[in-house]
Amino acid sequence: MKTKTATTLNAPPVQREPLKTYSTSPSSLWDYIQCPGRVRLRRWDKEEKHRLSTLKQEIGRVVHDLVPLDERNRQDRLDSLHYDISADILPQAERVVSESETLLARSDRIIAYLKKYKSAWEETFDFLDSVTGFRIYAQPELVMRPRFGEVTVFDLKTTASKGKYVSQRDGFKMKLFGWVILNALKQERDIDYRVNLSLLYLKDEKLIETPYSEADLDSFMNAEVRPKLRKLRRSIETREFMLRPGGHCKHCQMRSICPLAKYELERSGEINSSPD
């Protein structure tokens, strides 16, 4: 009689090295998915000297910075805007200030309303995904618990909605917010949650809310996030961040220092380098 099984049973348990922990956020992971090289360029350009933005991007950045601040700090931030505004938007600085103030007033009104009627709080959540060794940070504008076992996550958009359509980037970011917050809350109380992911578009004051179950968010994590986190780990450990040019280059804030940007923008007709 063969004794193969007995040999296997007596084998010592395999000791795995604990995974080194890295951290990321939904937005930087999305940037990595679109173009790994952009993440490296952004890290290299820590002081944001080379950042180029569109008017929309700059208004979005200013409003998101201002929402959590009190009146006095908001004014200081607006007064110093000329120093940190992206170079290509500088001539439109006044417009950035006035549009940001309008959107901010709307956001204040809506957030005050939400806080008045339901249990709501502003907080940064994080959760360590033990499968990939990444700590993921989620900082939405507001989280509410309208009912037992239910969580609503709000994030603001400074643009107008496009019907019921949510961009791929926003959908990805919101689902990852939902997964992180759900798991952070389960550490406090392990019950079944239902998560509503709400995007509030300030320009037309539209709310798009999508409900998800824990199972939905877990399968999103397994199918769409973990494979990317594993790739990101490889990139960090091998220091290989490939540039991946495409349609996203025209909005890329690192295009002033990217060696492939000019080629890609010419190829897609965004800029024309032929002599007049």
Task: Provide the binding-site residues for ligand SF4, judged by CB under 6 A.
Answer: 35, 37-38, 41, 243-245, 248-249, 252, 254-255, 258, 260-261, 264
Contacts of 33 (CB under 8 A, 6+ apart): 172, 228
Closer to ligand SF4 by CB, 61 or 255: give it. Answer: 255
Minimum separation from the CB atom of position 54 to ligand SF4 (A): 13
22-24 and 134-138 as β-strands: parallel, antiparallel, unpaired? Answer: parallel
Minimum separation from the CB atom of position 83 to ligand SF4 (A): 24
Minimum separation from the CB atom of position 23 to ligand SF4 (A): 22
Closer to ligand SF4 by CB, 35 or 166: give it. Answer: 35
Q: Which of 115, 185, 125 is nearest to 146 (CA)?
A: 115
Minimum separation from the CB atom of position 258 to ligand SF4 (A): 3
Return phi, psi of residue 210, to 5°. Answer: -125, 125
Minimum separation from the CB atom of position 256 to ligand SF4 (A): 9
CA 228 to chain centre: 14
Other Cβ atoms closer than 10 A to 67: 17
The C-alpha atoms of residue 269 and residue 221 are separated, in whole angstroms, by: 36
What tokens were used for 264? Answer: 């890609």
Closer to ligand SF4 by CB, 68 or 259: give it. Answer: 259
Closer to ligand SF4 by CB, 35 or 59: give it. Answer: 35
Minimum separation from the CB atom of position 169 to ligand SF4 (A): 13
- The three-class DSSP label of residue 156 is strand
CA quadruple 30, 32, 37, 41: dihedral, nearest 10:
70
Give the full edge-to-edge strand order of the sheet including 22-24.
22-24, 134-138, 125-129
Closer to ligand SF4 by CB, 1 or 242: give it. Answer: 242
Q: What share of the chain is helix, strand, coil (3-state, %, to 5)?
A: 50, 15, 35
Q: Which of 269, 241, 268, 271 is nearest to 256 (CA)?
A: 271
By the 8 A CB rule, do 137 and 28 touch? no
Minimum separation from the CB atom of position 254 to ligand SF4 (A): 5
Minimum separation from the CB atom of position 38 to ligand SF4 (A): 4
Q: Which residues of 177-201 are buried (b: 16+ CB within 10 A; e: fewer)?
A: bbbbbbbbbeeeeeeebebbbbbbb
